[in-house]
Amino acid sequence: MEASMQANNEIRATVRLALWTVAWVATLALARFGPQSLWDPEQVVASWAAVAVNLAASIGWIVSITRYLRAIDELQRKIMQDALAVTLGVGWALGFAYVVVDEADLIARDINVGLLPALMGVVFIIAVFVGQIRYR
């Protein structure tokens, strides 16, 4: 009984997280590509509205992540928390290292700022994979 309730909670939390992730990605794409593809870039109100919708979806996404972490099996939670800690550490370390390097004019050209969250995503996936192997 308890096991099936736990499984149902996990499934519900996973589905909610998946739906919020899709919503966040879709609204991010809308905010990023909308000004060129769907409306005139000079329609600033539309662009700001798209950003606001994306930020609203981001809040829902963050809430769904925390609920997912509370709902999942406790070993999976530990693996996720360890992976999040590594990801946050890498993000901070590389982020501040880039700020220092940029301020000191050590690199000739600017790096695309979107690279950092993308890299953090890759680090998170690798850290989860390592955790799964560690506790196999």
Partner 1 sequence: MKNRITELRAERAWTQADLAQRAGVSRQTINAIETGKFDPSLPLAFRLAKLFDLKIEELFLDEQ
Binding site for partner 1 (CB under 8 A): 2-3, 5-6, 73-76, 78, 134-136
Least CB distance to partner 1 at residue 7 (A): 8
Residues contacting 24, CB < 8 A, separation 6+ = 54, 57, 58, 60, 61
Query: Are 68 and 16 spatial neighbours (Cβ–Cβ below 8 Å)?
Result: yes
From first CA to last CA, the distance across the chain in angstroms is 26
Residue number with CB closer to partner 1 (17 or 79): 79
Nearest to partner 1 of 6, 66 (CB atom): 6
* Smaller CB separation from partner 1, 46 or 130: 130
C-beta closer to partner 1: residue 40 or 73: 73
Report residue 122 CA to chain centroid gap: 11
CB of 75 to partner 1, least distance (A): 4
Least distance to partner 1, CB of residue 94, Å: 30
State the CB neighbour count (10 A cutoff) for residue 135: 11
Q: How far is the CB of 36 from partner 1 (least distance, A)?
A: 45
Cα angle: 80, vertex 77, 129; to 5 degrees: 35
